[in-house]
């Protein structure tokens, strides 16, 4: 499903933005995963439009990054968040520039809804992740979400098991050490990394609240499959958090983690590729137990 | 100055935590040897030496552009390192300086400066 929006003429003194196509809110236990491939966004006038969406402190932060590539990715990340959140607002025509953001007491970014007095829209949660070559944003309704991306081919400088012994839980080290092929082992290490990172980000209390070696994420194959989250200390496992692992753009692993809202239903993840103001493309819909 | 240093080292009482199994495995052989050296334990490293060594550890990373690395470099904003890269940097620093950096401290090391400050203020750094 491809929707193209005609990008309107941008006069330098005009504050008018092209219209954003509205989006239907995520359903219960559903995550919308949006991504942008920076290399596909080449138009300097489009990038200039994007920088006009950002607040002055956001723009400062972008400019603080050293190097064009880092700056572009930072710009795209903020643009993706602002335009995507704006599109979910049911009262038409929410200007993405008016959105305000704040950090929770642990530093996790969230939308500051105080701007909208008669905001009857239920709270959206979002989380961003990006690598050198991909920028993604996950959106949910009511429940906290965390996402993490890693390049599938990234090189690990240290021995994978040494890194795991230092940072992962004992059960995860055991799991990795049973993998004979070093390439498969490297891949599984990275997948686990994204899952663990997504969980900590969904939790939103900072890395110190859930050090990587205090919990295990364990995959259960089969019809009642899915991921268990287990505490290292007690070895107790639960399904309070739902995990999904996907491959994006043929180049990345993406992990999604949301808090289960007692529905004990599978999590659906709808992946869409986008270039803000230009086009959307539905990529996939998956279900995770 | 040297006499004072030597005297302090002689007088200083070392309170070191017991070496845990997994830490032993992670340390290079030379660091284990130095661990038993009485003069080396309990002294602080010179800050400029620490800076040089930290810079060379970071420059050694394939992903990092050595020309961008300076004492002020922020891992994420200047060098484009992500969380997994930072963990690898921390591990490389642990290997270089022969001591384990606690996770809660490692979590706060976002730049070369912060790494240098932390290591230079740690008596266990070698």
Query: Per residue in B35-47, pLDDT tens?
Result: 555 445 557 889 9
What structural domains does chain A harbor?
Answer: 5-11+23-288 (3.90.470.20)
Q: What tokens appear for B13 in the block?
A: 């009482």
- DSSP lists the bridge partners of residue A145 as A258
Give residue for tokens 């493309």. A281
Backbone angles phi, psi at A27, to 5 degrees: -80, 180
Q: Which of A112-116, B63-67, B68-72 has the lowest mean pLDDT?
A: A112-116
pLDDT in tens, A156-198: 999 999 999 999 999 999 999 999 999 999 999 999 999 999 9
Q: How far apart are CA A127 and CA A140, in angstroms?
A: 9
3-state secondary structure B83-113: HHHHHHHHHHHHHHHCCCCCHHHHCCCCEHH
CA of A63 to nearest chain B CA: how many angstroms apart?
10
User: pLDDT band at residue A12, thresholds of 50, 70 and 90?
Assistant: very low
Q: What tokens appear for A125 in the block?
A: 């949660």
Give residue for tokens 């990234």. A154
pLDDT in tens, A187-196: 999 999 999 9
- CATH placement of domain B47-120: 1.10.1200.10
pTM above 0.80, yes or no: yes
Q: What positions of B carry a catalytic annotation?
A: 82
Q: How far apart are CA A8 and CA A19, in angstroms?
A: 8
CB contact, 8 Å: B104 with chain A? yes
Task: Give one word for A148, left, alpha or beta, with left for phi > 0 and alpha for psi -120 to 50.
Answer: beta
Q: How far apart are CA A240 and CA A258, in angstroms?
A: 9
User: If you average pLDDT over each of A16-20, A208-212, A233-237, B11-15, which comes out highest?
Assistant: A233-237
Q: What tokens appear for B87 in the block?
A: 């963990």
User: pLDDT band at residue A225, thresholds of 50, 70 and 90?
Assistant: confident
- B3 or A19: which carries more pLDDT confidence? A19
**Longest CA span, chain A:** 62
β-pair type (A241-248, A252-259): antiparallel
A12 CB-near residues (< 8 Å, 6+ apart): none
User: pLDDT band at residue B71, thresholds of 50, 70 and 90?
Assistant: very high
Closest Cβ opposite residue B61 in set A157, A167, A211: A157
- A6 or A145: which carries more pLDDT confidence? A145
Q: How far apart are CA A253 and CA A258, in angstroms?
A: 17
Residue A223 has a pLDDT of 76
CB contact, 8 Å: B72 with chain A? no
Every domain of chain B and the residues it spans: 16-44, 47-120
ipTM of this complex prediction, to 2 decimal places: 0.79
Closest Cβ opposite residue B82 in set A131, A165, A207: A131
Whether A158 sits inside 8 A of B88 (CB atoms) is yes
Buried b (16+ CB within 10 A) or exposed e, B91-117: bbbbbbbbbbbebeebbebebbbebbe
């Amino acid at each position: 499903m491809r929707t193209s929006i005609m990008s309107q003429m941008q006069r330098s003194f005009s504050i008018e933005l092209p219209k954003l196509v509205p989006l239907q809110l995520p359903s219960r236990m559903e995550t919308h995963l949006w991504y942008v491939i920076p290399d596909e966004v080449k138009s300097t006038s489009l990038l200039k439009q994007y920088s006009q969406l950002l607040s002055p402190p956001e723009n400062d932060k972008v400019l603080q990054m050293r190097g064009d590539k880092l700056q572009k990715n930072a710009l795209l990340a903020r643009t993706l968040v602002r335009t995507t959140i704006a599109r979910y607002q049911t009262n038409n025509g929410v200007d993405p520039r008016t959105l305000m953001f704040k950090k929770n007491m642990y530093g996790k970014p969230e939308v500051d809804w105080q701007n909208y007095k008669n905001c009857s829209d239920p709270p959206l949660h979002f989380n961003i992740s990006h690598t050198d070559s991909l920028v993604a944003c996950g959106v949910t309704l009511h429940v906290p979400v965390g996402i993490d991306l890693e390049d599938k081919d990234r090189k690990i400088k240290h021995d994978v098991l040494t890194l795991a012994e230092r940072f992962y839980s004992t059960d995860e080290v055991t799991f990795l050490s049973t993998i004979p092929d070093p390439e498969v082992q490297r891949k599984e290490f990275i997948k686990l990394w994204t899952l663990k990172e997504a969980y900590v980000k969904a939790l939103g209390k900072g890395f110190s609240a859930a050090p990587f070696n205090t919990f295990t994420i364990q995959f259960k194959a089969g019809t009642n499959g899915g991921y268990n989250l287990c505490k290292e200390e007690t070895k107790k496992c639960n399904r309070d958090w739902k995990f999904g692992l996907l491959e994006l753009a043929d180049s990345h692993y993406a992990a999604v983690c949301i808090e289960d809202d007692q529905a004990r239903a599978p999590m659906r993840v709808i992946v869409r590729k986008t270039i803000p103001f230009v086009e959307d493309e539905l990529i996939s819909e998956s279900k995770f137990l | 100055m040297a006499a004072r240093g030597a005297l302090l080292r002689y007088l200083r009482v070392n309170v070191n935590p017991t070496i845990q199994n997994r830490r032993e495995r992670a340390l290079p052989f030379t660091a284990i040897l130095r661990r038993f050296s009485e003069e080396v334990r309990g002294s602080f490293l010179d800050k400029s030496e620490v800076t040089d060594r930290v810079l060379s550890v970071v420059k050694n990373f394939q992903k990092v552009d050595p020309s961008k690395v300076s004492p002020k470099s922020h891992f994420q904003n200047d060098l484009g390192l992500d969380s997994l890269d930072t963990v690898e940097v921390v591990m490389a620093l642990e290997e270089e300086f022969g001591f384990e950096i606690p996770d809660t401290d490692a979590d706060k090391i976002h730049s070369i400066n912060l790494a240098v400050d932390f290591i230079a203020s740690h008596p266990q750094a070698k």
